[in-house]
Amino acid sequence: MRHLEKGAGLASAPRDFLRDLNADNLSAGVVAGIFGLSAGIIHISAGTAAGLPKDFTLLWVISYLFINGLFGLILPAYYRLPLPVANSIPGALLFAAIIPVVGLNEALGATLMAGAISVVVALAGWMSLVMRLIPMPIVMGMVAGVLLKFGTNMVMPLQNALIPAVVMIAAFFLSARFLRRIPPLVVTLVVGVLYMALSGADFASVEFSFRMPEFIMPAFSMDAFLAYGLPLALILVGMETPAGVGLVKGMGYKEAPANAITFVGGIGTMVSAFFNLHSTCIAAPMTGICSSPEAGTHDKRWVAAVIVGIIFVVGAPFYGFVFSLIEAMPSYFIAIIAGLALLRVISSAMHITFSGKHEVGAMFSFLIAVSGLQIFGIGASFWALILGAAISMLVEFRDFDFSRESKAARVAGEAT
Amino acid sequence: MSLLKDVSIPAITAGFVAVLVSYSGPLAIFFQAAQSAEISTTMMTSWVWAISIGAAVSGIALSLWLKVPVVTAWSAPGTALLVTLFPGLSLNEAVGAYLTAAAVIFLIGITGSFDCIIQAIPPGIASAMMAGILFQFGVGVFVSLEAVPALTLGMILTYLVFKRLTPRYSLVALLLVGVGLAVAVEDASLEGVTLSLANPQFIRPEWTWNATLSLAIPLVLVSLTGQFLPGMAIMRSAGYNTAARPIVTLTSLTSLVTAFFGGITTVIAAITAAICTSKEAHEDPDKRYVAGVANGVFYLIGGTFAGTIVLLFTSLPGEFVAVLAGLALIGAITSNLSAFATHKDHLEASVITFIATASGMSFLGLGSAFWGVVVGALAHALLHRPLPGLDRRAARDPARRTS
């Protein structure tokens, strides 16, 4: 346990929460919370794309909000840092894609192992080693490749549903530009539903419902572990934690607890595996919102992250309403919403993939992930990481942190 | 005659290597276009003849006239554009679009507005469109990996190893090893490959709005940004301060003629230019123009025996051509992707251009490259263009940009 960072503790957290609560961190928390609620649409569209049953997808989103919300109450309160918790979006897409191949229980078994790997890595303090062996650009190349299809699915409706597609995409861009506090995705959703209502969509199936996460038993299989568990572990350890830690550090929280974030995420992911959910981890986009100057005074921004957790836990059982609303919409509606929701994620993934080191490896990782290649029944995401890293070692070994040239350059850099 | 005095073995070798590289990599893309157009071998030979003769005539004339190594070729991103448009587009329409494109480039050249136009295109949008067009070729490599694993894997390894050892010859090595592998592993037969002269075929041009918007305009755009811009930059970084005007004008005039025989726009070379402008071509920069002339002469020979080149490519499996084209373009795809992905400020507009272009969608009969630019330009205007008032607020509140 010696690698886990110490925090302020939970004993006085409720009292401090009320003391530190103010208009700034409340509004930032609500914005981030709404963002998190709208991210459920990505899960729904990933589930729809993979042809998964509606009932499963609904339970998945409810678990996402409830389980991630619970951990999201604990992590920021314990450390008094703006560390909101959600799940991994790339992980969600891998999860949805692998279920038809290996089965739900097997996929959840792989989730359990990915969580266990995170816990081990955190307890051993190995975070930095993992990130050196499979560098960020290669991981992000894989992520960008997996996400690209959602981007192209978004523009496809321009072919046969031009007007609603243009209305929704324009609403997104305009609100991204002119409305400050409301997430553009929410505006797009409202505009899209209004358009559908005016053009005569059938809302008869929209209904309120109350539902809690349900227990499910994971099963183990090697195929599921290689094609999904291992990539998920790499995503959680090699991407989600570094992205979140990078963000809070950038906002001036120098003592961000990298190992503890991985540890809590790992435990959360293991719990998730029993409730139909693929992961628990720090949520990079919401971290951006909760830790920014818009969330008020530096030492009180943690409150915003706790508010995200409250919104998640309270909103989770009622998500069936949003779900039935989206179900009532034509199929291109969800393709557009999902593409817009992922546009920033795709952009930043491509940014990290192609800005600097490991260029060749990252490029191959991206191309392999897009190609959907399968070898020995193992999916493209795995080969993207493995072949990407191998090719990078062959062609651009000097870019690795542990290569001699890189060390020499670092020494020279420090000397000057 | 000063040419005889200046001639040297290294310069001739450089010219030869440049032609060999062009025929190894970029020509494979043109073959893919020809395959998607489902044209006859005779017609394909005419195309290869036209692009080779266009490059030969313009390259020799410009090198001798300007006394600098001007290496010309056909527009590689332009040929990539063709792959998605055929067979919906007819040959006659394509030739009409080639002529339109050549006329537009001629006007740009003769008025000297090349530099202004290059600066007017929003940064990122052009490279994002280019990456979107070329992207499918890169993905094609890994689609082939499933169909013919041994051949593809062997070619990828060859490419990587030679890229590490001798980057310049990696494409040539790839071609040789690839042909060897195709014969050994995939049972391809080279018996039908014989010396065969080209017999140019005249194609009657047909002008349509559809071809103008889907092919001619994107063709001008990718030729300017993907060939003339890097090509001129390579010349200038090698120390040749040649004006763009004579080069743009003369290559477009050549294109106007070769278009009738299926030759896509002749442009200044980007991939192979550096071979002839570098020190390896000759120690004395004033004598490197011989490399440009030699390059043209070898194109002349290649064009004359275009039939043999076509026979070679058609006797090899389709996957071979796909992998060759994909690997030849990996460098170009990477540099275009990083050209827009490194800049945070226009990122989303560029990414949406890339996505729309790569999606291969078509609407109103117009191709994805056109819509990519339209959607990208709109997103750029909506998201990133400075507006009075709003950006004063954004400037006061820097956090807004980072969140």
Closest residue in B to A28 (Cα) is B403
Interchain pair B361, A371: CB under 8 A: no
A116 CB near a chain B CB, below 8 Å? no
Q: Is residue A190 part of a domain?
A: no
Closest residue in A to B348 (Cα) is A347
Q: Is residue B395 part of a domain?
A: no
A351 CB near a chain B CB, below 8 Å? yes
CA distance A237 to A113: 13
Interchain pair B402, A344: CB under 8 A: no
* Joined tokens for residue A106: 């097997």
The DSSP 8-state label assigned to residue A5 in this structure reads P
Question: Does B55 have pLDDT greater than 90?
Answer: yes
Are the C-beta atoms of residues A61 and A43 closer than 8 Å to each other?
A: yes
**Number of residues assigned to chain A:** 416
Domain enclosing residue B44, as ranges? 2-335
Q: Is residue A109 part of a domain?
A: yes
* Joined tokens for residue A223: 């195929």
Q: Give B-chain residues touching A158 at CB under 8 angstroms.
A: 356, 361, 363, 371, 375
Nearest to A154 by CA among A324, A372, A342, A326: A342
Average pLDDT, chain B: 83
Question: Does B390 have pLDDT greater than 70?
Answer: no
Q: Give A-chain residues touching B356 at CB under 8 angstroms.
A: 155, 158
Are the C-beta atoms of residues A369 and A142 closer than 8 Å to each other?
A: yes
Are the C-beta atoms of residues A114 and A269 closer than 8 Å to each other?
A: yes
Q: Is residue A177 part of a domain?
A: no
Q: Give B-chain residues touching A395 at CB under 8 angstroms.
A: 160, 163-164
Q: What is the pLDDT along chain A (416 residues), one digit of tens a residue?
A: 667 788 888 888 889 999 999 888 888 888 788 878 878 888 988 888 888 998 899 999 999 999 999 999 999 999 999 999 998 888 898 899 889 988 999 999 999 999 999 999 988 887 667 667 778 788 888 878 877 887 888 888 887 788 888 888 888 888 878 876 677 777 888 888 888 888 877 777 788 888 888 899 999 998 889 888 988 998 888 778 877 777 787 778 887 888 889 999 999 999 999 999 999 998 877 887 788 777 888 889 999 999 999 999 999 999 988 888 877 778 788 778 777 777 777 888 888 888 778 888 899 999 988 887 777 656 677 788 888 888 888 888 877 777 665 555 555 544 44
Interchain pair A370, B141: CB under 8 A: no
Interchain pair A344, B139: CB under 8 A: no
Of B352, B361, B390, the CB nearest to A343: B352
CA distance B9 to B204: 42
CA distance B52 to B48: 6
Question: Does B396 have pLDDT greater than 70?
Answer: no
Q: Is residue B20 part of a domain?
A: yes
CA distance A300 to A26: 10
Interchain pair A343, B141: CB under 8 A: no
Exposure b/e, B241-280, CB count within 10 A at least 16 = b: ebebbbbbbbbbbbbbbbbbbbbbbbbbbbbbbbbbbbeb
Are the C-beta atoms of residues B220 and B101 closer than 8 Å to each other?
A: yes
Q: Is residue A180 part of a domain?
A: no
Determine the residue type at A395.
V
Q: Tally the domains of chain B.
A: 1
Interchain pair A351, B379: CB under 8 A: no
Q: Tally the domains of chain A.
A: 1
Nearest to B320 by CA among B144, B67, B160: B144
Domain enclosing residue A339, as ranges? 13-137+150-168+202-344
The DSSP 8-state label assigned to residue B214 in this structure reads I
Q: What 3-state DSSP class applies to B74? A: strand
**Bridge partners, residue B268, by sequence:** B72
Q: Which DSSP string corresponds to A46-78?
A: HHHHTT--HHHHHHHHHHHHHHHHHHHHHHHHH
**pLDDT tens profile A159-178:** 778 888 888 888 888 887 88
**Bridge partners, residue B72, by sequence:** B268
Q: Give A-chain residues touching B164 at CB under 8 angstroms.
A: 394-395
∠ CA B306-B308-B312, nearest 5°, is 120
Of A158, A353, A367, the CB nearest to B139: A367
* Size of the A and B interface in Cβ pairs below 8 Å: 122
**pLDDT tens profile B170-217:** 777 887 888 888 888 877 777 777 777 888 888 999 999 989 988 998
Interchain pair B355, A371: CB under 8 A: no
How distant is the Cα of B346 from the closest Cα of chain A, in angstroms? 10
Q: Is residue B403 part of a domain?
A: no
Which range of A337-351, B26-40, B252-266 scores highest in mean pLDDT? It is: B252-266
CA distance A112 to A274: 8
Q: Is residue B386 part of a domain?
A: no
Of A152, A294, A360, the CB nearest to B358: A152
Q: Is residue A43 part of a domain?
A: yes
Those residues with Cβ within 8 angstroms of residue A98's Cβ, 6 or more apart along the chain or in another chain: A107, A110, A224, A227, A228, A379
Cis peptide before A76, with omega less than 30 degrees from 0?
Answer: no
How distant is the Cα of B161 from the closest Cα of chain A, in angstroms? 8
Of B164, B354, B383, the CB nearest to A394: B164
Nearest to B105 by CA among B209, B213, B223, B211: B223
* Joined tokens for residue B294: 């030699």
Predicted pLDDT at A350: 86
φ, ψ dihedrals at A281, nearest 5°: -160, 175
Q: Report the half-sphere exposure of B106 (CA within 13 A, side-chain side).
A: 14
Mean pLDDT in residue range B299-323: 84
